[in-house]
């Protein structure tokens, strides 16, 4: 069994084709020139090196490299990137272990600095964000951490932007997605919050009762100095009660006498005066004789 290698096949090809030298030269030129033709997308910047030194940036479209001399160090995506990061089992200022999830919105505005100033700039951004998040968590209590997420995100964004600006990177925003606390502590906080709500409701109820008592006390002073106002108030209460459909109010006679300032008192007095003067008639006793009776 005979095995032919690549070189053997090439030699056989050259022997069979008289113009094989020209074809071989074309193949070699094609292999050299093809990698020299590069293309960058609309959102990319190509960092070009010549003899290992920074040569410039190439924007979107086709561009040609000088073979062997030029090299593209990296194609840098300049769109806004979204990176999630987290801090696990980090102690707050009141020594509560929490897990915090967050996301960062950042972009490369200077591709030259991002490639030449830091190695693997995307990893550097993530590690810097995690460090800033841990430091921010340790400064605040758990209650502040839960209630002021926006402020915490702005603080991390400011620290991260100051650190990455020298790398040609800007951090646009940082958002806190979730704050996870231990299950036992979560139950205790729930009970504490419920007790606090009950306390607040009792305080509100007692405050309302105190205000009502004070208003009743002031009203009693006005009624004490003005009996007419007291009588009108009593009659108004009776009237409001009678306005309800199908309602009936039984008022003692003493109360009627007390409120007898208008028609109600007058009708009561008139009824008492007329009632004794008209005794009930017996059946058939009050019939008058007809004119024709003899």
Q: Kindly state whether residues 28 and 115 are assigned to the same domain.
A: no
Q: Is 94 a domain residue?
A: yes
Q: From 125, 152, 181, give the residue that closes a domain.
A: 181
| Predicted local confidence at residue 292, as pLDDT | 41
Instruction: Please give the DSSP secondary-structure letter assigned to residue 79.
Output: S
Q: Kindly state whether residues 110 and 45 are assigned to the same domain.
A: no
Q: Kindly state whether residues 90 and 150 are assigned to the same domain.
A: yes
Q: Is 290 a domain residue?
A: no
Identify the residue whose tokens are 């005794």. Answer: 279
Rg (CA), the chain: 49
CA distance 8 to 5: 5
Q: Which residue(s) pair with 97 in the sheet?
A: 91
Q: Kindly state whether residues 70 and 97 are assigned to the same domain.
A: no
Q: Kindly state whether residues 90 and 12 are assigned to the same domain.
A: no
Q: Kindly state whether residues 59 and 98 are assigned to the same domain.
A: no
Q: Kindly state whether residues 131 and 96 are assigned to the same domain.
A: yes
| Predicted local confidence at residue 249, as pLDDT | 63
Q: Is 165 a domain residue?
A: yes
- Per-residue pLDDT of the chain (294 residues), as tens digits, is 444 455 565 555 556 555 567 777 777 777 777 778 888 899 999 999 998 888 888 888 888 888 888 888 899 999 999 999 998 888 888 888 889 999 999 999 999 999 998 889 999 999 999 999 999 998 888 888 888 899 999 999 999 999 999 999 999 999 999 888 877 776 666 677 778 778 888 888 888 888 888 887 777 777 777 777 766 777 777 767 666 655 666 666 555 555 554 444 444 444 444 445 445 554 444 444 444 443
CA distance 177 to 132: 15
Question: How many domains are contained in the chain?
Answer: 3
Q: Kindly state whether residues 103 and 171 are assigned to the same domain.
A: yes
Q: Is 93 a domain residue?
A: yes
Q: Is 101 a domain residue?
A: yes
Q: Is 288 a domain residue?
A: no
Q: Is 240 a domain residue?
A: yes
Q: How far is CA 50 from CA 22, 33, 58, 73, 75, in A?
A: 31, 17, 13, 10, 15
| Predicted local confidence at residue 7, as pLDDT | 55
Q: What CATH number did the domain enclosing 105 receive?
A: 3.30.479.30
Q: Kindly state whether residues 66 and 88 are assigned to the same domain.
A: no
At residue 49, φ and ψ (nearest 5 deg) are -115, 140
Domain around 255: 226-263
Q: Kindly state whether residues 21 and 69 are assigned to the same domain.
A: yes
Q: How far is CA 272 from CA 231, 240, 255, 265, 269, in A?
A: 22, 26, 16, 11, 5
Q: Kindly state whether residues 117 and 164 are assigned to the same domain.
A: yes
| Predicted local confidence at residue 213, as pLDDT | 83
* Residues 140 and 162: beta-carbon distance below 8 Å: no
- Torsion-angle region of 169 (φ positive above 0: left; ψ -120 to 50: alpha; else: beta): beta
Q: Which residue(s) pair with 178 in the sheet?
A: 101
Q: Is 60 a domain residue?
A: yes
pTM given for the model: 0.56
Q: Kindly state whether residues 138 and 120 are assigned to the same domain.
A: yes
Give which of 61, 68, 29 is closest to 45, Cα–Cα. 61
Identify the residue whose tokens are 């996301």. Answer: 103
Q: From 151, 181, 211, give the residue that closes a domain.
A: 181
Identify the residue whose tokens are 């030699």. Answer: 11
């Amino acid at each position: 069994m005979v095995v032919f290698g690549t070189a053997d096949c090439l030699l056989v090809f050259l022997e069979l084709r008289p113009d094989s030298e020209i074809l071989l030269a074309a193949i070699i030129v094609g292999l050299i020139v093809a990698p020299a033709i590069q293309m960058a997308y609309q959102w990319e910047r190509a960092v070009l090196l010549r003899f290992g030194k920074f040569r410039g940036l190439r924007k979107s479209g086709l561009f040609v490299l000088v073979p062997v001399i030029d090299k593209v160090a990296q194609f840098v995506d300049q769109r806004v990137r979204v990176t999630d990061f987290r801090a696990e089992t980090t102690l707050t200022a009141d020594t509560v272990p929490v897990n915090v999830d967050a996301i960062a919105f950042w972009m490369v505005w200077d591709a030259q600095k991002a490639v030449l100033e830091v190695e693997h700039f995307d990893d550097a951004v993530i590690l810097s964000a995690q460090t800033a998040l841990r430091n921010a968590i340790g400064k605040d209590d758990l209650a502040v951490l839960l209630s002021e997420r926006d402020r915490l995100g702005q603080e991390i964004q400011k620290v991260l932007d100051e650190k990455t600006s020298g790398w040609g990177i800007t951090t646009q925003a940082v958002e806190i997605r979730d704050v996870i606390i231990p299950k036992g502590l979560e139950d205790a906080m729930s009970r504490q919050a419920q007790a606090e709500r009950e306390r607040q409701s009792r305080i509100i109820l007692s405050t309302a009762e105190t205000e009502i008592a004070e208003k009743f006390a002031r009203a009693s002073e006005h009624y004490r100095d003005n009996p007419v106002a007291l009588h009108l108030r009593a009659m108004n209460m009776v009237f409001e009660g009678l306005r309800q459909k199908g309602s009936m109010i039984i008022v003692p006679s003493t109360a009627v006498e007390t409120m007898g300032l208008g028609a109600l008192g007058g009708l009561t007095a008139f009824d008492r005066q007329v009632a004794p003067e008209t005794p009930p008639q017996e059946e058939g006793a009050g019939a008058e004789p007809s004119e024709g009776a003899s």
